[in-house]
Amino acid sequence: MQITDNQDCATAYARVHALLDAEQPGDAIAFAETCTGPAVLVNQVLALACTYRGAGRHDRETLRRGAELWRDAGAERNSTLGYNLAVTELDLWELAVEEQGLVSALEGHRSHLQNARTLLRRSGDDETVSTEIRVQALTNLANSYDSMGRDVDALAAYERALAVDPAFGMALGNKALTLLGIAPFAQEHQAALLAEALDGFDAALNDRNRILEIGGTRALECFEEGRAQIKPPDDHDGAPVVDRQRPEWSDPYLGWCAQHALFLHVSLRCLSESYEELDPLFFGGITVGIGDDEQRHAKDLLDAFNAVKQDYIAARYLLWLGDGHGNPIREHAAAVSGRAGFLDTLRYARWGVRTGVAVQAFAAATNLLDKVACLVHLYYGTSRRTTGISFRYLWHPRGNPNRPAVMDAELADDAASRGLRALCDLSCDLEVDSPLNRLVERRHSATHRFLTVHSMDPGVEAVDGDWLDRVQWSELIDGALQLLTTARSAVIYLARTIDLAEQKADEARRVKAEDEGKPLLIPPLPTSRAVTENAEFD
């Protein structure tokens, strides 16, 4: 077939899809290889055939060929073609996990997952791309997070997809599956998550034909099976019917937290000011023996987790004090700052208490990620020293950049569990040039160099190696919010890591006791709530 323009390319696409639907992938590639015309168009047709054949046959080399053809066709510059390259990169990642297991895939093939997400974000954010491509890109991005246990990030990406097309069944159904999967971790909030999942399944199944067209029979079956697992709200054994509308908040701080989704909980629908706990814990106990050392270690773990949670809440509160409306320090901070006597360099710089508080919130949110990594290593008892632990290198020691990363042996056994898998994947976000990585790098300016904040563009060109890092106020606040959002995800995944590991340990104890014919004498150490005078009392 002669291909001379995009219309011919679309015709060739249709022919390839017809052969693939007829389960003739070899014929699809043979047809694509006979096409002639400009390479940029011919490569697209052949890339499509290679991608689908490679995925269907679990053929790595054919998938790699497809990826290179998409690149040759301009996929790294064109968001529509980039979506197709992203799908191919996801297929390569999933094949690596299937063939080698998660640990080996992380160590040697994570670039496929990272490349796919970069392309999917670009396609989803590009308003010149068709709505169909954008919503599918954002849904696939969310799916890639969920498959790695990052359900908090997945839910946010599904929301982005639904902002583009609120009726997109694949996003609605997959979001509902994510909520269904994490409901068991939500303790007293489980009914609310199930109610939200129920809404999602019902909305998705309103358009079965579109689900079949895009996701196929398997997607429809998954949504129907998920829907069948949930009883209507009135059947939850006397549990109250959940108000499915987002609540109003009278307290300005709580309203700010709700606005930016910063509570340590995955769903805002079941939170209101009437709840005693708005940042609930997500694990139930620590399995230990009766020896003093084990008891002390368990209590150290609980104190460390409390420290992480406290630092998150403090960073969140600091940022609200710096920027949130209705905070109680605005007038007093202005008065204090007015008496400080700062110097004016005519660069629109901001100096004062609230600006300093916002900078400290920025730094605190970034430091929190490293503390999450430290607690992971404390929990699993790895051989790493505290000075060698950072979130960027959470699952592998820092080594020669020319050598592949190798996961710490103590983490490998649990790496596939949903919580630890999520933390490992989240840490990989700091390996690539991303907004998050650039924000984390700015932490050094906030902590031991000089971060200067400006009301508008200061008009000063930065010099490489400069001691000062200049940032506009809005950029600082947006960056701090992004870091807090990432820290929130990390804290939730940390709690889930402990919860799943403790369930595994408790089950192992029970099996061992049963095999040995001995009674189970040692219950898990409960994580009871601290009383007021122990929590904080002045």
Q: Is residue 329 classed exposed, middle or buried when 0-12, 13-18 and 19+ CB atoms within 10 A define those classes?
A: middle
CA-to-CA separations, 141 to 89, 148, 175, 230, in angstroms, rounded:
12, 11, 12, 26
pLDDT at 131: 94
pLDDT at 242: 45
pLDDT at 56: 81
DSSP string, 156-180: HHHHHHHHH-TT-HHHHHHHHHHHH
Torsion angle (degrees, nearest 10) of CA 306, 312, 314, 320: -150
pLDDT at 536: 60
Q: Extract the tokens encoding 159.
A: 């929301």
CA-to-CA separations, 89 to 46, 67, 113, in angstroms, rounded:
16, 7, 7
Half-sphere exposure of 155 (CA within 13 A, CB side): 21
**Beta strands 468-472; 450-454: pairing state:** parallel
Residue 524: CB atoms within 10 Å? 17
Residue 346 φ/ψ region, left for φ over 0, alpha for ψ in the -120 to 50 degree band, beta for the rest: left
pLDDT at 267: 67
- Structural domain boundaries of the chain? 1-73, 75-143, 167-235, 256-535
Q: What is the 3-state secondary structure (H, E, C) of 197-218?
A: HHHHHHHHHHHHHHHHHHCHHH
Kindly provide the residue ranges of all beta strands, DSSP E only, lying in 279-421, ordered along the sequence.
285-286, 349-350
CB of 370 within 8 A of CB of 387? no
Q: How far apart are CA 397 and CA 390, in angstroms?
A: 9
Q: Which residue's entry shows tokens 């709530």?
A: 529
Residues of the chain scoring pLDDT < 70: 233-247, 267-269, 282, 288-290, 460-465, 518-538
CB of 242 within 8 A of CB of 232? no
Q: Extract the tokens encoding 4.
A: 């001379």
Q: How far apart are CA 69 and CA 85, in angstroms?
A: 9
Grouping H, G, I as helix, E, B as strand and the rest as coil, residue 104 is: helix
DSSP string, 396-433: S----TTS-----HHHHTTTTSHHHHHHHHHHHGGGSS
Grouping H, G, I as helix, E, B as strand and the rest as coil, residue 450 is: strand
Distance of CA 494 to the CA centre of its chain: 13
Q: How far apart are CA 32 and CA 53, in angstroms?
A: 12
